[in-house]
Amino acid sequence: MRKYVIIGVPGSGKSTQATILAADLDLVHISVGDIFRSQVQNHTKIGAQVRRTMAAGELVGDDLAEKVTAERLAEHDWNYGFVIDGFPRNARQAEFFLESYDIDGVINLDMPDSEVRRRVLARRLCANCGVDYNLIQSRPAIEGVCDVCGGNLVTREDDTEEALVVRLRDYHEKTDPVLDLFRRKEYVAVIDATASKEEIQEAIRDRFGLPPYKP
Ligand code: AMP
């Protein structure tokens, strides 16, 4: 059983790296942001509650974030473990999380804020299957069309200059302390997230003694 948390500023590649790691090692990739986005897309009650908060780049309330995460983890479909992305995001969530789960490691994707803006504003998401593209590094073969499913590529509502300022501020104010907390209790691997997708994945495997990555 392997349980990892992946933490990093917006646009540092958390979802990309978690997806590769999970697919290869039979782990479940749990993205709290994806759960909220799908609630918004499906016009659920939770979706209505979080839509504006998310679009502004603000964090959803702890009670709701904890409830959604606990319910997802309670599905217990993660026979070989999980990689959780987007949780915990502040000290309270970290304490809540550590009460229930032992973590094998924390992957901290390290990227300077100066690089974030460039990457986040170039990010596109498939509206149908959720695959991430980047107009700088991983362009789709046909502009605006998903290589995987042919869906439309859209910009995340919170990938704007205004929302990004809020997200970065929250990250440094609230999520940086989570790393300090994990550093005391767990193994935090700081990985240079400015390297290529493959190099980052290799570095993660190397740091945790996992089977090598064969792209
Ligand atoms: P992400 O895809 O991880 O960037 O998350 C997108 C948005 O979902 C965030 O900006 C928050 O509004 C919300 N969100 C995701 N995870 C959490 C969390 N753990 N606590 C509060 N809000 C969250």
Structure token digits, residue 142: 């046909």
Q: Which of the listed residues 9, 29, 53, 59 should we mutate to test ligand 1's pocket, taking the one with most ligand atoms within 8 A of CB?
A: 59
Place of tokens 């789960």: 101
Question: What's the predicted TM-score (pTM) here?
Answer: 0.93
Q: In whole angstroms, what is the distance from residue 206 CA to residue 165 CA? A: 33
Share of the chain above pLDDT 90, in %: 90
Q: What is the mean pLDDT of residues 179-183?
A: 92
Q: How far is the CA of 214 from the centre of ligand 1 (A)?
A: 31
pLDDT, tens digit, 9 for 90 and up, residues 1-55: 999 999 999 999 999 999 999 999 999 999 999 999 999 999 999 999 999 999 9
Q: In whole angstroms, what is the distance from residue 134 CA to residue 183 CA? A: 31
What distances in angstroms separate CA 31 from CA 36, 68, 88, one per listed residue? 9, 11, 11
Length of the chain: 215
Q: What is the mean pLDDT of residues 79-104?
A: 94
What distances in angstroms separate CA 159 from CA 54, 67, 112, 164, 165, one per listed residue? 10, 25, 17, 6, 10
Place of tokens 């998401």: 125
Q: How far is the CA of 142 from the centre of ligand 1 (A)?
A: 30
Q: In whole angstroms, what is the distance from residue 13 CA to residue 103 CA? A: 20
